[in-house]
Copies of this chain bind each other. A is one copy, B any other.
Amino acid sequence: MINLFEKFKGFIIDLDGVIYLDKKIIPHSKKFIKYLIKAEKKYIFLTNDSTLSPDEYSKILSEQGIPCNLDQIMTPITNLLEMIKNKKIQNKDIMVFSSTKLKNYLKSLDINIIEDNNKFKKIKTIIVSGNLEFNYDDLMYASLCVQNGAKLLATSTDNTYPRKIGNVPATGSIIAAIQKTHPVSAINLGKPSKSIFNLAKKKLNIKRQDILTVGDNLNTDILGSNLSKLKSCLVLTGKTNLATAKKSKIKSDYILNNLKI
Interface residues, chain A, with chain B CB atoms under 8 Å away: 120, 131-137, 139-140, 143-144, 147-148, 159-160, 165-169, 172-174, 176-182
Contacts and interface: CB of A to CB of B under 8 A. Distances in A.
Copies per assembly: 2
Contact of A139 (B134, B144, B180, B181): B134
A181 B177 contact: no
Contact of A147 (B159, B167, B173, B177): B167
Nearest to A134: B136
A176 B178 CA distance: 9
Given A177-B169, A177-B174, A131 B139 contact: no
B144 A166 contact: yes
Main secondary structure of the interface of A (DSSP, over half): helix
B173 A139 contact: yes
B172 A143 contact: no
A135 B137 CA distance: 9
A159 B173 contact: no
A173 B177 CA distance: 5
Given A159-B180, A159-B181, A173-B181, A166 B147 contact: yes
A21 B110 CA distance: 45
A176 B180 contact: yes
12 contacts: A120-B165, A132-B136, A133-B136, A135-B136, A136-B169, A140-B168, A143-B169, A144-B168, A148-B166, A159-B180, A167-B182, A169-B178
Greatest chain B CB density within 10 A among A143, A179, A181 is at A181
A183 to B, nearest CB: 11
Contacts of A173: 139, 143, 177-178, 180-181
Nearest to A172: B180
A167 B148 CA distance: 11
Contacts of A180: 159-160, 169, 172-173, 176
